[in-house]
Each structure stands twice: as C-alpha cells, then as structure tokens.
C-alpha cells in the first residue's frame, strides 16, 4: 500500500491531483536547473495496486488514471527529454498484465513511453510465462519494456523467516545469480520474438 505523504492527507482529490502535478514538475525542473535531467522518470512504484492511497487505490481506476496523468503532465511540462515509465507487477500472468495495461493505456490514456515490470523469480512464475507476457506486451502496446525491479538471493538463509520455495532450478548464491541473470537477459532482450514451444 502506497499512502499519501502526511502533508497531503487532508487535501481534496482535486488538490491532491494538483499537488502531485506541481511536485513532479518542480522536482524535475530542479534536476534540469542543475543540468542533471533524468533519462527516465517512473511515475509511481508498482502502480498495479495504485498510488497515494486511499484516493489512488486500484479499485477506482478513474481516480488512479487521473493521478497518473497528473504526474505524467508534470514530467512533460518540466522537460521533453525524460522518458516516462509506468511500473507494474504480475509479469508472469498475461491476463492480469493485460487487464492493468488496458486500463492505463486505453481507458485512462496515460501519457508514458516505457512499460516497467517487476520480476522476482521466486514469486513471479516461470520464464516461459514471463516470455509470453513480454511478447504479448510488445505486440499489443508497441512500447519498450524494462525490468524495473528484480533480485535473486545470494544465500539460502531467509532473514525474514518466511517460507520461500526456490522453484527456479538455480542455486541461491553467486553462481545461481549469474546463471539466472544471463538467462533473464536473453529472455528480456528477445521479448519481441514470438515464444517457441
């Protein structure tokens, strides 16, 4: 859950939307003034569940879309140089990914350049499922895709004591990390190529 900053809690939705626009615009303008314009600006982190809860909860796509458009406009009004990333989750489940992106792209008309996805091999299914989703995304949305978040453990020990089953076929550790990331790189860079059986 991504809640609002304390200073924004009592704002009306219109005030919240305007504040998000101004905050985004002014932040990017600050980077521009010091000649460090970012190549990429991600408008929210893993926005599948929404942003600025409770107003931007995923259960109200009109409001969520409105907030994403406000953030995007803030970036565009500050610079035309930065590419805007919309970062979602569920890369391994095409039906969920499509549902999310259809709302962002077609229903809410959010202005952005790149689809960002999280991919955590322990939780996000097989590379075959990921490959299928990537291929479908490239075909349907005609946008570049980046893996915005990923990780693979370097040890078998789980400090959180949660039960996490390694279903990847790679050992937890530096060698497994290397092998999996090489395979991931090949999978991700060939996203536009249809999956083979």
Quote the CA–CA distance of 13 and 63 in Å, as a whole number.
Answer: 8
pLDDT by position in tens, the chain (length 197): 689 999 999 999 999 999 999 999 999 999 999 999 999 999 999 999 999 999 999 999 999 999 999 999 999 999 999 999 999 999 989 999 999 999 999 999 999 999 999 988 877 778 888 889 999 999 999 999 999 998 877 776 666 655 556 667 788 888 888 888 888 888 888 776 555 44
Distances (CA, A) of 26 to 29, 36, 55: 5, 14, 22
Q: How many other C-beta atoms can be found within 10 angstroms of the C-beta atom of residue 42?
A: 20
**Is 6-189 a CATH 3.40.190.10 domain?**
no
Contacts of residue 177, Cβ cutoff 8 Å, sequence gap at least 6: 152, 153, 154, 170
Question: Taking the domains of the chain in order of start, what are their residue ranges?
Answer: 6-189
C-alpha neighbours within 13 Å on the C-beta side of residue 140: 17
């Amino acid at each position: 859950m991504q809640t609002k900053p304390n200073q924004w809690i009592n704002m009306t939705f219109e005030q919240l939307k305007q504040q998000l626009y101004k905050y985004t615009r002014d932040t990017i303008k600050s980077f521009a003034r010091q000649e460090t314009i970012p190549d990429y600006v991600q408008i929210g982190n893993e926005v599948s569940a929404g942003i600025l809860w409770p107003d931007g909860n995923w259960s109200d796509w009109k409001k969520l879309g409105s907030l994403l458009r406000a953030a995007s406009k803030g970036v565009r009004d500050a610079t035309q140089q930065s590419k805007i990333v919309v970062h979602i989750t569920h890369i391994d489940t095409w039906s969920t990914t499509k549902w999310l992106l259809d709302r962002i792209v077609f229903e809410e008309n959010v202005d952005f350049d790149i689809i960002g996805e999280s991919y955590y091999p322990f939780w996000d299914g097989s590379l075959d499922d990921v490959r299928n989703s990537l291929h479908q995304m490239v075909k349907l949305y005609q946008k570049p895709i980046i893996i915005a978040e990923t990780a693979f453990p370097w040890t078998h020990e789980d400090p959180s004591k949660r039960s996490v089953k390694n279903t990847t076929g790679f050992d937890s550790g530096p060698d497994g990390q290397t092998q999996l990331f090489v395979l991931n790189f090949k999978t991700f860079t060939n996203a536009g190529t249809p999956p083979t059986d």
